[in-house]
Structures are given as C-alpha cells and as structure tokens.
Structure 1
Amino acid sequence: MTLLLSRSHEDSMSGLSAVVTGGSRGLGLLLAEQLLIRGCAVTIAARDEEELGRARQFLTESRPDARVRTAPCDVTDRATVASLMTHAAEAQGGIDVVIANAGIIQVAPVESIGVDEFRSAMETMYMGAVHTSLEALPWLRRGRGDGRLALIGSVGGLLAVPHLLPYSCAKSAVAALAEGLHTELRGRGVSVTAVHPGLMRTGSHLAAEFGGNVGAEFAWFSALAGSPVVSMDARRAADRIVTAVERRRARIVLTPMAKAAGLTHGVAPALTTRLSALAARALPRPPEGSDAAGLHPGRDIEPGPDRSGHPVAARLRDWGSALNDRAARRLNQRAHHAHGGG
C-alpha cells in the first residue's frame, strides 16, 4: 500500500537530485528509499563509511539501477557540508531536494547529564541543520525549478519531553529555523518543510545513548518507541514526509499522539507542562549518589536482563521493543553510533 502511495506521486519528482543527511540508517535511510521510488538521484551522507556502504546495498538490492551516491560527512563541520553539496551538485547535475535529518538521541534525567550533552545535541541537530540549510540554499535556488528543503524536527521540539531535554532543546531550535526559513524564503524559489515526527519504529533505541538508571531508561524508551499503540511504522512515516516535501507543505506532524501533544501545548502550555511533570515522576530515577558519569550506547545494553540488572525493566523492554528490534536489523542500526550520522 505504501509503495502504491509513493508511486502515485512519482512523476513530479522524477529526474530530480536529492541529498539526505543522516541517510545511512533509520528514518534517513527510508527517506532516501522514498526519493528513489519517486525517481530521484540521491546522495546519502553520514559519518560512518562502513554504515554508508551497507545503506547503499540496502537501497540498491531491489532497484539495481537506482542512482545512489554515498558521501562521508560530519554535519557539525560547515566546510564538510559545503563540500558535500558541491560534489553532489557536480555528480548529479545540480541539487533540487535536501533533507536535513542527521541527529542523535540522549535519554537520561537531567541529573545524569552535563553541559557536554546539551552542546553535542545542539551542534549535531541544530547547527547541523543550519550548516545544511545555508550550504544547500544556493544550489536549491539554481536548480531545475523551485528547490525543496526539509528539516526533520520532532514532537520533542514542540514540547519538552522528560529525560530527553538536550534532544528537545535542539529540536525546538530546528523547528524555529524551519519556520523562519519558510517565512523568509516563501516565493523566492525554495520551499521549506518543517517535519515533526512522533515515535517511529526505526530501531533508534540501539543508536541512542542512555544515562542514569541505564537499564530502566533503555527499557521505557525502547518499549514506547516500538509500541504500535503510540509509535508509527517508519516506512509509512517516510512516505508521508517525502509526499509533504513533494507538495511543498510548510509543516507536517506525524502520529495522532504527536498532533494531540503539539495542539494541547499550543492551546494550554501550563497544563501540558504539569502533565509532563506527572509523567516525569513515573520515569526511572538515577541511582543514589550518581552524577553525570557519561552516557552508554543502546547497542551495548541491548541484552537487557544480563546488563541492566533490572528484570522488570527487561521484561518491559522485551514486550515493547520487539518490533523496534526487527526495525533495527532492517534499517542498518547495528553500527557504532556517530554524531552527525542521523
């Protein structure tokens, strides 16, 4: 069904050139897939070259004639992003579509993180989006028709999510950037789409980093991110995002829960904040006497019961993250977590 929906829009993007940062795994990989289905030539960028190689294999397995380039790139380095855009334009005859998707996820109570985690989140997601946007705009303006730029935010950028504070702060900045660019560039040759997904089954729990009560934090995050009740199939999400970019929509919010949360926060922010505070009380507390001792990659705590020491949390993880674990195997989430990789 998703494939049919994608192909119904294929003609309007056929022959265009696209760049996806954070395109080697998870949502970024599926965004690249949807662009290929619509007939685009696609450059996927991320930091890990081995991961990029596996991503290219994934994208060309069922479509050997697909025009896919890979480009190692750290979006926190503007010069590297500038080189990415220049080489993509040279190889593909210009750039028509750019999706800024690179990101990191840090899951921990504020007591277990420090200023470095906030800085890392802002440099990767916000400054990464700034670098991508500013370096892409000159190419998008001179493309074959009006260019399209999309910035991947999050429901966490519409309201602060407990135990995801650096992520929420960075995504909030991305939301403001997308809205401001849309306002200033409207009618000037580039459409800008702000994308705010809710939870999706991308296997991101293995690439995320966890602090505090690590096993329990991993349990609740992987359980919610994999639950069909509150999360969304990632391929369906990617189809809807690329369709929104194709149709030049200013904003798209995915999942009913994300839409409800964003609407409620906009209408009654004080109420939403109180409800978030109640939710925070149900989340794991850091161990007594612990401090900001660093974060641990989800791939290292995936075995749950053996590593976490919390059998109840492990059972919760096993119940809720089965779909997410399968998504991780499909969507190239096995490699070492790297900032700027998406």
Structure 2
Amino acid sequence: MTHAGQVREWVAAARRENGPVDVLINNAGVIQVGPLDEMREPDFQRSLETHFWAAYHAINEVLPEVKARRARRIVNIASVGGKVAVPHLMPYSVGKFALVGFSNGLRSGVRRHGVTVTTLCPGLMRTGSHVNAEFKGRHEEEYAWFALTNGLPGLSVSGESAARAILSACARGDAELVLGLPAKFIVAVQALFPNLTADAMAVTNRWLLPSPGGIGPATATGAESRGRLPAVATALTDRAAAAANE
C-alpha cells in the first residue's frame, strides 16, 4: 500500500476482476503509542506513508476513471486523531491530519466532475488494534491505557456499527462524518475552545499518561506489552481482535 507501483498493479487487478471502479474506500492505519520523547523520524515517515501517501496513490490510480464516469464516490477513513492532536499518538495524528486536509481539499477540487469525496473521522474503535499497535517507552503502561480506552462501551464504537455508518455516509455523499459521541464532543470543544483544549491535552500528557523511560524508542507490540493487565479488562476489544483476525 505504500508503494505506488504495487498500488497500480492492485487497482489494475481489481478492475480486471470486477470491472470499472465505482467506489474507492481508503482504510489503513498504523499506530505508534508512546511519549513524544521516544518517537523518531522513521515513526513519522511510516505514518505519513501509510495514512497519506497510500491513499494519495490509490486515489490517483482511479481518479481519471471516476471523473470520466461521474457520480462516483471516494471515501477516506481518517480519525478523530486527524482533527485533534492526541498526546502519545503524535506520528498517528500527523499522518491522519495530512489525510484529513488532503481529503477535504480533494472534495472541492473534484466536485465539478461529479465525484463525491467523504472524510470519515472515527473516534475510539473496538477493532483489536491494541494487539498489533506499537508501544514505546513504558510499554506496559502505554498498552494499559490504550487497550482500556479502546474497549470501553460508550467510549468506543464497534467495527460493525462503524462500517454501517461509513457506507451510509458514502451513499449520502456527506462531506465529513465524525463517529462516536466522545469524538464529536472533543472535535466540537477543539473548534470552540482551541486554547482550552491545548491546555487540557498538556495536562493529560504531563499528569495522566506514562512518562518516558522503559524500553525508550524501541518498540513492542501489544501482544508483548500486556503485562499484568487482566484479560477481563480487555475482553470486548480482544473479542474484536479475534473476529478481525488481528
């Protein structure tokens, strides 16, 4: 997905198998979790390659076709992290911010050709991403807060319900959709009170999230970072990981 030539081959194979492209949905993500002090340039490069450049290459492969045929859809699945920069997820937010900006600009640029672009910004998702996310610094503590918040009912959205909402937004031709009440709330607060939001994020980073240390800039997967966190605490998101073959 991060190599333009391979994306071109994949689109060509899909076109041979299924015919002309009617809908393109860009949905890919990598997550590095940890303090900014432990992040390095390759972390940001990988995020941009996956979240922005992969979508950019896929869109460029289908854009001439969908413009010629008109009334076609492009959906870019970003994140609430592309609307509000969340501490300890900096590379992820940088990549998703790039995708949100590109997607929003693309919509206005191709609308006259009958192509509708929709930007999706889900909040916390129960998809099992905690298993393969990469954790830095005090990786067991980082894993604990990330896995717990991603699995709490009310805070997180299931993959199935998100998929239904995404397809509905695509069919309607929405410009943007933020998924989940907590995500809608934080995006609204950021828009209305940017200084307050920045201060709250700084307080969260300093007092509520783990400090640097541990394994430092090295990485450990979620499967390697469970530590003493009881399985019952992540039961819902573990179930989602098994269902999605994470």
| TM tier relative to shorter chain | over 0.9
- Partner residue in 2 for 1:225: 150
- Partner residue in 2 for 1:92: 18
Distance apart, 1:158 and its partner CA:
0.4
Counterpart of 1:150 (choices 68, 71, 75) is: 75
The 2-side partners of 1:139 and 1:161 are apart by: 37
Maintained 8 Å contact 2:67/2:110? no
* Cα RMSD, aligned residues only: 1.4
Maintained 8 Å contact 2:136/2:216? no
- Partner residue in 2 for 1:300: 224
- Partner residue in 1 for 2:239: 326
**Runs of 4 or more off by more than 4 Å in structure 1?**
none
Deviates more, 1:109-118 or 1:134-143: 134-143
The 2-side partners of 1:138 and 1:297 are apart by: 39
- Partner residue in 2 for 1:167: 92
The 2-side partners of 1:188 and 1:142 are apart by: 8
- Partner residue in 1 for 2:8: 82
The 2-side partners of 1:319 and 1:256 are apart by: 25
Structure 1's unaligned 5+ residue stretches are: 1-74, 306-313, 334-342
**Could you say what secondary structure the match of 1:187 adopts?**
helix
- Partner residue in 1 for 2:189: 264
Q: Deviations over 1:198-219 (max 9, x none)?
A: 0011011012110000101011
Structure 2's unaligned 5+ residue stretches are: none
Pairing of 1:3-152 with structure 2 (within 5 A) = 75-143=1-69, 146-152=71-77
TM-score of the aligned structures, taking structure 2 as reference length: 0.95
The 1-side partners of 2:244 and 2:32 are apart by: 20
Distance 1:320 1:155, change over 3 A: farther
Maintained 8 Å contact 1:96/1:139? no
Identical-pair percentage? 37
Maintained 8 Å contact 1:224/1:320? no
Q: Which structure has greater helix proportion?
A: 2
Aligned residues: 245
Pairing of 1:200-279 with structure 2 (within 5 A) = 200-279=125-204
The 2-side partners of 1:196 and 1:107 are apart by: 19
TM-score of the aligned structures, taking structure 1 as reference length: 0.69
